[in-house]
Amino acid sequence: MDALRDALGSWRREPAHYLPLARSSNASTVFDFPPSSLDDPEKRQRRRSRSGSASAGLAAARRRSASLDDDSRDQSPSRLVDADPSSPVDHPHWSRRHRHVLAVVLAIAAFAGVYSLTTPEVLEKARTTVGKGWDRVTGGHFSSTASKESHYFPSSDELPPGASTWEPACSPSTWSSGNWTPLDPPLRPHTSIWDASPDFHAGACAQNWHRGAWYLGVVPPGTEPGVEGEAQADGQWPMSGYRRRAAGYRWQAGSETCQAEVEQPWLAREGDEEDEGTVKLLQDLVDRGAWLIYGDSLSEQQFFSLSCALYPHVRAVWPYPSMSEWRQVKEEHLFLLPDSPLVKSGKLRVPEDWDYDGSPLVSHVRTDHGLAPDELISLFETVHAKSAPRAFTALYPNLTSLPPFSPPEALLTDVETFSPSLDYTLQLFLRPSQYRNISTSISPSYAPSTTPPDALEIERQATRSGSYRALIFATGAHFSARHFNLPFKPEGGPNAQIEFFDLALRELLNRFARALESATEEERSGKEVVVRPTTMGHDDCHDAEGPLAEEDEKKSSWWSWPDMWRMNEHGANIVRDFNHPLITWLDISRPTNLRPDAHTNDDCLHLSAGTGVVEGWTHYMAYWLRERAAWLDQGR
């Protein structure tokens, strides 16, 4: 183990700047380091010395192989006694039997060394130690020392010390440690869907063109939600009793501070007046910048929820055609309305030159995995790169044990992956007024023919004056056998699906960091990247009669849901180890995990908007980003 530890330790470096994970999309990917990043002259000299010894040993071995049976060689004991113990020594007196024994011993030692690379201790060592040096490929660690050497942000003028460890008065863990309490009085039977959605005061949603009945939990889906148990005309259907019962609870945060600062602002209303939480969020979106929600259908549900909670102050736009029979939307935006009651009354302060048609307040870009299909294929190929070091393969033993796919596209199943390239989203986040191309290869829904010129123009105009504050990212549910031809263990043990999630998340974090590095100070000013855990499904959710008191992983045993628990655990560690001051793992998953009773009516993974579950994400994110901004203002 000491030798292995030394071998792993030799990969520790303080790189002068970040390196791309892969420079090409084929199996001959080269992993390279800038010469200045290797280490100091003394270490380089030690490496040269070791290299010299190794060369001498190789030469000696060649001499031995040519003359092992030559009895004329000097075999005097003095030759061995006087030899430098650090240099190779020939042993011409060894018999063939001795050599065979030595070969067996060396083979056993080699096997033990390879086997040891997959032990939990070594994997943890690789994750926490090697990763600090090879941040592009292994651990994805942010080095403050390297940042200073390469003029990396943030300088003391941009970000105060302690940004990586900062927490507000109500931390994510404290807020999440509360419980769901029943409404008093409870909702009556035959109530409307809007009365069963306490955060949706206006009785409508800005995003009203797409899957609204499904989002709200109305089944079978209809054009407009009706009243529970009441027959509707024109194909409309009532809300279910399951959905009404789900709305009968409110989140009681884990401390008085959390309840007062996070939850109470969304409850305080007088008559038709808007609640304080909505006003504060809208003001922050105007003053500080928009939210860019980047994720799958679970993230899409947060966008829909916001379109209801912020109505009638916002309108929705979707520039691109929808995809597949399920009508997924590639990208959508919420814009402030000039005739909003808050704008008209002056309660919402808006600059006189505000661009109501080109400054989104909230945007959502659909992505199943964070990366486009061709990016996922290139990423998988890195595990088979000939130059990939042992420290890399130690982190991904299940992936590296698999043969390369031929053709490479065989990694993907026939189920289409919905995602633009990550560069597209980062361009939107940092430079929303500039050109970007949403088309990608492989995925039919992102072929150039699916994006007509008029859609590109609508999208360009929609963000011409945009400014984003937060990139809110989540993934996990689509890392499964449904999308990837990778082996997995249904019981939730280590498997290639989870390792591919780990690899993809590290790549995403590195590219987030590189994009922020390459941005100008003005472009990255005030920016935050927030990574949210993925959402758990619950077995037999429609039989649930109410919230759980504590999380129960055993209630999430269907499909790939056990893997999603592991992905969240790994994700928390990976983001923590990355240690970037502008990238945060926001663990607010516990309230969601306690709600088997709040899913949609036709599946047990997605959540019904309006029940307070998805709205809770918004409550805490709004609080966290507001407190973070105030803390940064004080430190500047």
Q: Which domains does the chain have, with CATH numbers?
A: 2-21+35-67+90-149 (no CATH), 172-204+251-635 (3.40.50.1110)
| Whole-Å CA distances, 597 to 241, 523, 543 | 11, 43, 8
Q: Output the DSSP codes for 549-587.
A: SS--GGG--STTHHHHHHHHHHHHHHHHHH--TTEEE--
Residue 250: pLDDT band with limits 50, 70, 90: very high
Amino acid of residue 501: F
Residue 489: pLDDT band with limits 50, 70, 90: low
pLDDT at 494: 58
Q: Is the pLDDT of residue 81 over 50?
A: no
Cβ-contact 207, 360 below 8 angstroms: no
Q: Is the pLDDT of residue 116 over 60?
A: no
Q: Is the pLDDT of residue 82 over 50?
A: no
Nearest-10 Cα torsion for 111, 116, 117, 120: 160
H or E element in which residue 377 lies: helix 373-381
Q: Is the pLDDT of residue 291 over 50?
A: yes
Q: Is the pLDDT of residue 53 over 70?
A: no
Q: How far is CA 269 from the centre of its chain?
A: 36
Q: Is the pLDDT of residue 39 over 90?
A: no
**What is the CB neighbour count within 10 angstroms for residue 530?**
22
**Phi/psi of residue 291, nearest 5 degrees:** -100, 130
pLDDT at 456: 86
Q: Tell me: the pLDDT tens digits for 505-530? A: 999 999 999 999 999 999 999 999 99
Residue 103: pLDDT band with limits 50, 70, 90: low
Between vectors from CA 123 to CA 118 and to CA 125, what angle results, nearest 5°? 135
Taking all residues of the chain, what is their mean pLDDT, rounded to a whole number? 78
Q: Output the DSSP codes for 29-64.
A: ------GGGS--HHHHHHHHHHHHHHHHHHHHHHHH
The listed range with the strongest mean pLDDT (56-70, 272-286, 311-325) is 272-286
Q: Is the pLDDT of residue 104 over 60?
A: no
Q: CA-to-CA distance for 421 and 529, rounded, in angstroms?
A: 17
3-class secondary structure, 251: strand
Cβ-contact 499, 556 below 8 angstroms: no
Q: CA-to-CA distance for 596 and 594, rounded, in angstroms?
A: 6
pLDDT at 602: 83
Q: CA-to-CA distance for 466 and 251, rounded, in angstroms?
A: 33
pLDDT at 235: 42
Q: Is the pLDDT of residue 37 over 60?
A: no
Q: CA-to-CA distance for 236 and 225, rounded, in angstroms?
A: 7
pLDDT at 12: 29
pLDDT at 105: 52
Residue 272: pLDDT band with limits 50, 70, 90: confident
> Token pair for residue 416?
């289409």
**C-alpha closest to that of 285 among 334, 340, 352:** 334
Average pLDDT over residues 40-46: 36
| Whole-Å CA distances, 530 to 294, 588, 590, 620, 634 | 10, 11, 17, 12, 21
Average pLDDT over residues 21-48: 32
Choose between 133 and 575: higher pLDDT: 575
Q: CA-to-CA distance for 165 and 535, rounded, in angstroms?
A: 25
Using only C-alpha atoms, what is the Rg of the chain? 29
pLDDT at 596: 98
pLDDT at 70: 34
Q: Is the pLDDT of residue 62 over 90?
A: no
Q: Is the pLDDT of residue 613 over 80?
A: yes
Residue 608: pLDDT band with limits 50, 70, 90: very high
The listed range with the strongest mean pLDDT (5-19, 53-67, 591-605) is 591-605
Q: Is the pLDDT of residue 18 over 50?
A: no
Q: Is the pLDDT of residue 437 over 70?
A: yes
Residue 415: pLDDT band with limits 50, 70, 90: very high
pLDDT at 34: 30
Mean pLDDT lowest for which of 196-205, 217-226, 368-377, 414-423?
217-226
pLDDT at 392: 86
Average pLDDT over residues 204-218: 85
**C-alpha closest to that of 593 among 571, 616, 573:** 616
Q: Tell me: the pLDDT tens digits for 295-304? A: 999 999 999 9
Q: Is the pLDDT of residue 171 over 90?
A: yes
Mean pLDDT lowest for which of 56-70, 149-163, 184-198, 227-241?
56-70
pLDDT at 229: 53
Q: Output the DSSP codes for 581-625.
A: TTEEE----HHHHT-TTSB-TT-SSSB-TTSSHHHHHHHHHHHHH
CA dihedral (572, 574, 577, 582) positive or negative: negative
Nearest-10 Cα torsion for 192, 194, 196, 201: -150
CA dihedral (566, 572, 573, 578) positive or negative: positive
Q: How big, in percent rounded to 5, are the helix, strand and coil portions of the chain?
A: 40, 10, 50
Residue 19: pLDDT band with limits 50, 70, 90: very low
pLDDT at 107: 52
Choose between 87 and 392: higher pLDDT: 392
pLDDT at 102: 56
Kindly give the interhelix angle for 276-287 and 613-635, rounded to the nearest 10 degrees: 50
pLDDT at 383: 93
Residue 238: pLDDT band with limits 50, 70, 90: low
**C-alpha closest to that of 154 among 519, 508, 427, 574:** 519
Kindly give the interhelix angle for 496-518 and 561-578, rounded to the nearest 10 degrees: 40
Question: What phi-psi label fits residue 42: left (phi over 0), alpha (psi between -120 and 50 degrees) or beta?
Answer: alpha
Choose between 319 and 419: higher pLDDT: 419
Average pLDDT over residues 392-399: 91
pLDDT at 599: 95
H or E element in which residue 242 lies: helix 241-246
Decide the pairing of beta strands 290-295 and 360-366.
Answer: parallel
Q: What is the pTM of this model?
A: 0.77
Which residues fall within 8 angstroms of residue 75, CB to CB, at 6 or more apart? Answer: 92, 93
Kindly give the interhelix angle for 297-309 and 613-635, rounded to the nearest 10 degrees: 80
pLDDT at 443: 92
Task: For the chain, give the percent of residues with pLDDT over 90.
Answer: 57
Average pLDDT over residues 593-604: 94
Kindly give the interhelix angle for 496-518 and 373-381, rounded to the nearest 10 degrees: 110
